Amino acid sequence: MNTKLKSGLLAVVLAMTGSFLSCNKILEVDQPDNLVHSEFWQNRDQVYASLVGLYTSIQSNASSFHVWGDIRSALYKPGSGDAFTADHRQFLSQDLYPDNGLLSWSSVYKSIGWINTFIKNAPLALSADPTFKEPELNSMLGEAHALRALNYFYLVRAFREVPLIKEPYESDNQQVNTAATSESEVLDFIESDLEAALNQCPDTFDDADKKYGRVTKNAVRALWADVKLWRNDYQGVLNLCAPLDQQYESLLVGPFEWYTLFNPGNSPESIFELQYKPTGPASPLYGWFAYYSGPATAGTMYLANSVNVQLANEEVLYPTTLPEYTSSDTIRYKDFSAYRRSSNVSGSFGSGWEVYKFLGQEAYQQSYRPPNDRRLVNYILYRYREILFMKAEAYAMLNRYPEAEQMLNLIRQHCNIPLLSTGESGEGAEFFSRLLMEREAELGFEGKEWFAAVRIARRPGFADVLLTKSATNNSMGYSYQVIRARLLNPESWFLPYNKTEIENNPSLVQKEYYKNR
């Protein structure tokens, strides 16, 4: 990378100092390099302000994380607003080019640069502030290691080989042109960060926002289990999930409390959510998914591809003769629950549904969040039901299908859905096709379903699970044959490097598959 991070570091520290320490006077620094060493890392409050800034940087990355991890899944349909651009169209069309602006990773590497600076310099405050104790510093460092791992895990799943930057950018004389590092080396680094994080992070926090919004040992376990699943270490997944089962299995909310996962959020079964507050950055979720955001002319970035969603859920969750339902899922698929299915705005939705789970203040009725509440929708990174899906996937890959079905049934039980009988979910590709559809019913539009499909498809014999799912009922109107042909080469499942990143970094070479595009 050849991005000038130092001015960004100065800006974020100034912002953190003003926002989180409530200082009346802006920090005055003549030279940014002095900020890093002698002017800033002087006491516990400055270190804590920097840590909070690291979480703010993750919030800034949510849009990229969501685009890379989700919108290539079969769930998405173009929205009706100008926010859905030609760059988004490439993702839904499975036809990506290096000049696509959504490929930019600059904000993610800025976040990594700030984390690197924190890890290197935060210990300086110990000697300068006698009230700052080493156990608290170590706890903060654990959180920083976990956040760096999170950033890199999104990058490696999206692009596969990416530059691995381990040290902060602190001087104009420092060269940071860096070639892409192999996937396995990046994943090894992620796991080393997570090992440090698990050793150092706190078990929990007393304050609810911190309990769910800062990294705890359980958040580390969830992220690390996800990494293990990506690396096909299935027993490793189960080992990391065992402590999560002990804490969360008894906390699964009942069927009629399902909507509380999203409003008010921070439910008992939540593990890690990005917290949005009135005084901080605004949540992007309402703007992404709400057809109604005020004026009659307002539009939305994304709608649900209702043709694909409905077909999947009729096949997996079974049709029902009950009115107002498209399947036996009478909790998530009732109108104004996961989706607003009715299309009563002059047909503006067409065959798309509004994704209501992030928009409402109540379920099963038209009750949108009031304007002052729309900026506060949390972005869920991990919740316990995703852990159950991870375990189901791991059990299936270990040929322990009855146990995999038990994980699916635990989720179905908490949504009042008929349970699977033994063997009903099938084995091999049949099971994993079902697993993806069951995941979408519970976790749809939460940011990772394309990653889940790629993870499964990379295993020998399972590529067709992704190809068939992605090519059926493409929301951009392309035929099954066209989409399947675009995805036939597994290299297409990963993103090209952004053209600007290539131009700025002479050491970064475009992937062979995307050259001459």
pLDDT tens digit sequence for 426-460: 999 999 999 999 999 999 999 999 999 999 999 99
CB atoms within 10 A of CB 499: 18
- Residues with Cβ < 8 Å from 291, sequence gap 6 or more? 79, 80, 298, 299, 300, 303, 340, 345, 348, 349, 354
Instruction: Determine the average pLDDT of the residues in 6-10.
Output: 44
Residues 218 and 162 in one domain: no
Of 447, 471, 505, the residue that ends a domain is: 447
* Per-residue model confidence (pLDDT) at position 23: 33
Question: Which of these, 279, 263, 317, lies nearest to 425 by C-alpha position?
Answer: 317
Residues 234 and 110 in one domain: no
Counting Cα atoms < 13 Å in the Cβ hemisphere of 113 gives: 26
Q: What is the average pLDDT value for the chain, to the nearest integer?
A: 89
Which residue(s) pair with 274 in the sheet? Answer: 379
Q: What is the per-residue pLDDT across 469-483, written as a single tens digit (0 to 9) for each?
A: 999 999 999 999 999
d(C-alpha 267, C-alpha 292), whole Å: 26
Higher pLDDT, residue 129 or 310? 129
Task: Report helix, strand or coil for 302.
Answer: strand
Structure tokens at 223: 């992220």
Omega of the bond prior to 264 within 30 degrees of 0, cis? yes
> How long a stretch of residues is the chain?
517
Range of the domain at 20: 1-195+484-517
Residue type, position 233, single letter: D
- The owner of tokens 């375990």 is 391
d(C-alpha 158, C-alpha 71), whole Å: 12
Residue 412: pLDDT over 90:
yes
d(C-alpha 137, C-alpha 132), whole Å: 8
Residues 230 and 189 in one domain: no
Structure tokens at 42: 């002087």
Tell me 363's DSSP state: S
Q: What is the per-residue pLDDT across 307-337, written as a single tens digit (0 to 9) for each?
A: 888 888 888 888 777 777 778 999 998 889 9
Residues 244 and 144 in one domain: no
d(C-alpha 173, C-alpha 40), whole Å: 21
Flag whether 149 is in a domain: yes
CATH number at residue 500: 1.25.40.390
Whole-number percent of the chain with pLDDT over 70: 88
Instruction: Determine the average pLDDT of the residues in 284-308.
Output: 78
* Per-residue model confidence (pLDDT) at position 312: 80
Flag whether 277 is in a domain: no
Instruction: Determine the average pLDDT of the residues in 65-84.
Output: 92
Q: What is the per-residue pLDDT across 60-73, written as a single tens digit (0 to 9) for each?
A: 999 999 999 999 99
Residues 102 and 181 in one domain: yes
Higher pLDDT, residue 83 or 52? 52
* Per-residue model confidence (pLDDT) at position 314: 82
The span from the first CA to the last CA of the chain, in angstroms, equals 21
Measured CA angle at 437 (ends 264, 466), to 5 deg: 125
* Per-residue model confidence (pLDDT) at position 299: 66
* Per-residue model confidence (pLDDT) at position 5: 44
* Per-residue model confidence (pLDDT) at position 326: 73
d(C-alpha 178, C-alpha 175), whole Å: 9
Q: Identify the weakest region by mean pLDDT among 25-39, 335-349, 376-390, 418-432.
A: 25-39
State how far the alpha carbon of 40 is from the alpha carbons of 6, 10, 123, in Å: 14, 10, 12
Flag whether 73 is in a domain: yes
Tell me 514's DSSP state: G
Higher pLDDT, residue 320 or 97? 97
* Per-residue model confidence (pLDDT) at position 352: 86
Residues 158 and 248 in one domain: no
Where does the pLDDT of residue 298 fall: very low under 50, low under 70, confident under 90, or very high at 90 and above?
A: low
* Per-residue model confidence (pLDDT) at position 97: 98
Residue 76: pLDDT over 80:
yes
Flag whether 472 is in a domain: no
Residues 245 and 100 in one domain: no
Higher pLDDT, residue 350 or 35? 350
Residue 296: pLDDT over 50:
no
Residues 83 and 164 in one domain: yes
Higher pLDDT, residue 342 or 237? 237
Where does the pLDDT of residue 17 fall: very low under 50, low under 70, confident under 90, or very high at 90 and above?
A: very low
Whole-number percent of the chain with pLDDT over 90: 79
* Per-residue model confidence (pLDDT) at position 174: 54
Which residue(s) pair with 352 in the sheet? Answer: 305
Where does the pLDDT of residue 292 fall: very low under 50, low under 70, confident under 90, or very high at 90 and above?
A: low
Contact of 77 with 303, CB cutoff 8 Å:
yes
Question: Which of these, 228, 221, 275, lies nearest to 247 by C-alpha position?
Answer: 221
Flag whether 284 is in a domain: no
How far does Cα 101 stand from its chain's mean position? 19
Q: Identify the weakest region by mean pLDDT among 26-30, 270-274, 406-410, 436-440.
A: 26-30
Task: Report helix, strand or coil for 288.
Answer: helix
* Per-residue model confidence (pLDDT) at position 38: 59
Q: In what order do the strands lie in the sheet with 76-78?
A: 76-78, 302-305, 352-353
When divided into structural domains, the chain yields a total of: 2
CB atoms within 10 A of CB 403: 14
* Per-residue model confidence (pLDDT) at position 341: 81
Higher pLDDT, residue 401 or 174? 401
d(C-alpha 20, C-alpha 40), whole Å: 14
Contact of 144 with 118, CB cutoff 8 Å:
yes
Of 420, 447, 474, the residue that ends a domain is: 447
CB atoms within 10 A of CB 264: 12
**β-pairing, 379-383 with 352-353?**
unpaired
